Amino acid sequence: MQENLCHFIYLKYKKMKKFLLLFAAFLFSFPQVYAQLKTNSKEQINSVNDTLVLKNRMLAEAVIISPQNDTTICESSFLFEAEEPETGSGLWQITSGGGNIENPDSNITYINNLWHGVNTIRWTVIGDTCTSSDDVEITNSSVFANAGVDVAVCADYAYLNASPVPPGDMGLWSVISGAGMFEDPTNNTTIVSDLSFGNNTFRWTVSNNECTSYSDVNVFSTMPDSALYDAGEDQEVCEDHTVLEANELLPGWEGRWEIVGGGGTIAEPTNRITEVSNLILGLNVFRWIIFWPEYGCYYSDIVTVSNNSVSATAGQDTTINQTSYQLNADAPIDGSGEWSVVSGAGIIENPKLCNTVVSELGTGENIFCWFVTNDFCDDSGFIRVSYNPVSVQHIEKKNSKIYPNPTGDIVNIVSENRSFSEAFIRLQTIAGKEMPCKIIPQSDKFYMLDVSNLAEGIYFLEIHFDTETETLKIIKK
């Protein structure tokens, strides 16, 4: 209301001022007019019909209507309007500051590109000999915000690059859509992290006491949530094979498996669900890689497969002619083993020892189990130890002969009427432990046996034919 009252008084003052100026002009010219009339009355006393012409050359006062008062604006253009002069012409001018006047001689015109800060604009009415002007101050307090160009990133963070903030102004980042955490929301070149998958829109707002400007930028993150490229749960298996299973691929994405550590054979490397075989014992590491060809972005996850399998090998089945036998299982690489009697009879000297001795065997077949475990996986191996006391008589009833005996390296074995090619031959200690030896056939009835790598002692050579077994004693010196 106070502003309207001031404007009313101002307009009344302008009208009164115009009247006072006319009246002053009349008073100023009255003495000269009176003197001239007096002179004329003396010289031309007889002429009483002379006419006096008085011309007022004062112009209508220049008045700016819009803006009526000094004004602050938030843009660089403004539409100015002044009272149109009844006589003479008008002209717009910029007396301080700067800008571009579209129509300088029109009482209504735009002035563009006003300088930032105070600009003084003048409207002047021009007559033949007189001028009148009115000034107004326009303060351009506009601010400018440019958030930068849209980008696509292969990460969950991005570097923002907005226009700098002039001294005295303030800038602030905000999230319009999507997600993001600004390292410094007042810094035009800050880092935004924790982007959501897809498009994220951020706004850069610049403001001062009077004006505000903002600009938006889009950041497209191709990095999906880690759950979308999960290679699956780590596994512990008791075999040398398993199935890998990663999450389903997003539309437009591709994936592949690769071996990082350990070993294995991947059946279908580009299938998210695939079998892998030939796992090595221990840790095997596989990587599931997904990529988006359109953007060239890659992401991966690791899955481990621990092959904890164990193997229990109890040894080869055997037939002996004594009541004790030295078992010879493979020692477990990981874990522990233990012997037990499955059937038959026998006393196991040390059940946890892989090469323990079993005594008091029962006549016929005796089956023993070698059980291996590592607290996660287990396996069992079996051996049949057949005790045949009749075979002791075969020592004296020989179809085959050996020489020299005792020997230090080579033993010759000769058969009278049986072919060794039809027989199974093995060498054992007195305790029944099978020993490695090299058999060198010379003919079907003549073999050579290399015992040079054996320790001194007594060994039994078993020759198993289809229906009988012959046992020969060898003395190694």
Radius of gyration of the chain (CA): 57
Confidence of residue 115 (pLDDT cuts 50, 70, 90): very high
Last residue of a domain, one of 221, 244, 265: 221
Which of the two residues, 4 and 255, has the higher pLDDT score? 255
Asked whether residue 123 falls in the same domain as residue 172, the answer is no
Percent of the chain with pLDDT over 70: 85
Tell me whether residue 446 is in a domain: yes
Most confident of 19-28, 104-113, 225-234: 104-113
* Residues belonging to the chain: 477
Whether 340 shows a pLDDT value over 60: the answer reads yes
**Could you give the CA distance from residue 93 to residue 71 in angstroms, rounded to a whole number?**
17
Tell me whether residue 226 is in a domain: no
- Residue 285's domain is classified under what CATH number? 2.60.40.10
Give the model's pLDDT for residue 475: 87
Confidence of residue 398 (pLDDT cuts 50, 70, 90): low
Whether 396 shows a pLDDT value over 60: the answer reads no
Summary mean pLDDT of the chain: 84
Residue written as token pair 């007594």: 458
Which of the two residues, 7 and 476, has the higher pLDDT score? 476
Query: 451 CB contacts (<8 Å, ≥6 apart)?
Result: 407, 409, 410, 411, 427, 437, 459, 474, 476
Q: Tell which residue, 118, 74, 124, has the closest CA to residue 99.
A: 118
Contact call for residues 326 and 356 (beta carbons, < 8 A): yes
Count the domains in the chain.
Answer: 5
Tokens of 394: 């075969």
Whether 471 shows a pLDDT value over 90: the answer reads no
Give the model's pLDDT for residue 432: 67
Tell me whether residue 20 is in a domain: no
Question: Helix, strand, coil proportions of the chain in percent (round to 5)?
Answer: 10, 45, 45
Last residue of a domain, one of 115, 142, 169: 142
Which of the two residues, 249 and 398, has the higher pLDDT score? 249
Give the model's pLDDT for residue 445: 81
Q: Tell which residue, 220, 221, 216, 219, has the closest CA to residue 162.
A: 216
Cβ atoms within 10 Å, residue 75 = 12
**Could you give the CA distance from residue 403 to residue 418 in angstroms, rounded to a whole number?**
18
Give the model's pLDDT for residue 423: 79
Q: Is the entire prediction scored with pTM above 0.75?
A: no
Cβ atoms within 10 Å, residue 46 = 4
6-21 tens-digit pLDDT: 444 444 444 454 444 4
Tell me whether residue 450 is in a domain: yes
Range of the domain at 350: 318-387
Percent of the chain with pLDDT over 90: 50
Give the model's pLDDT for residue 476: 86
Whether 215 shows a pLDDT value over 50: the answer reads yes
Asked whether residue 186 falls in the same domain as residue 135, the answer is no
Q: Tell which residue, 293, 290, 291, 262, has the closest CA to residue 276.
A: 262
Residue written as token pair 């009164």: 16
23-81 tens-digit pLDDT: 444 444 444 444 443 444 444 434 444 554 545 555 678 999 999 899 999 999 999 99
287-307 tens-digit pLDDT: 999 988 888 888 999 999 999
Sheet holding 78-82, edge to edge: 64-66, 78-82, 108-112, 100-101
Tell me whether residue 271 is in a domain: yes
Tell me whether residue 282 is in a domain: yes
Give the model's pLDDT for residue 417: 79
